[in-house]
Amino acid sequence: SMQSTPEEKERFLALRNKYENESLSDLVKNSKEFVRIVEHDGELVQKVDPVFLEPEYSNIFDFRAHFFAPKKQFMNRYFDTFWVNITLLWAMSLFLYVALYFEWLRKFLNYFEVIAGRFSKKQNA
C-alpha cells in the first residue's frame, strides 16, 4: 500500500534507506546462506528467510519455535513474539527479585556446603 503511486514509492524508499539496518536484515533473512533448502529426515527445510516461517507445533505443551519466529504458541493460542519476550523478561525479573529478597542463593550454597562437608568426612574416614 505504501508503493501504490510513484510519490509513495519514493517516500517508502527514502524511509527504507534511512531506517533499514543492512546487517540486521541479513541476519534475520539469513541471506548469506549458500544452501537455501536442505533435506532433513526426509523433509525439505528452508534455510533462508526464517523470519517469514510460521512455527510448527506438535502439541499443546510444545513451546519450541525457531529464534526469529513471528509468533509463539501457548496453550493452543498464538501470541506475538514481542509480548511473549516482554512477559518472560518480567517474570524472570520478578523471580530474581523474590530470590534476592528471601536469600535463596545463600541458602542454596549453604545446602551444598553441608553436603560437600559430609561427603569429604566420609572419604577421609
Locate the DSSP E strands across 1-125. 37-40, 43-46, 71-74, 77-80
As a whole number of angstroms, the distance between CA 69 and CA 49 comes to 11
The model's pLDDT over 34-49, given as tens digits with 9 standing for 90+, comes to: 888 999 899 888 888 8
pLDDT given for residue 86 in this prediction: 94
**Which H helix or E strand runs over 80?**
strand 77-80
With a cut of 70, say whether residue 125 has pLDDT above it.
Answer: no
Q: What is the pLDDT of residues 77-122, one digit of tens each?
A: 889 989 988 999 999 999 999 999 999 999 999 998 888 887 777 7
- The larger pLDDT score, comparing residue 24 to residue 123, is at 24
pLDDT, tens digit, 9 for 90 and up, residues 51-69? 888 887 767 666 677 777 8
Q: What's the rounded Cα separation, in Å, for the pair 119 and 124?
A: 9
* Exposure of 61 in the CB half-sphere (CA atoms within 13 A): 0
In this prediction the pTM is 0.58
pLDDT of 29 > 90? The answer is no
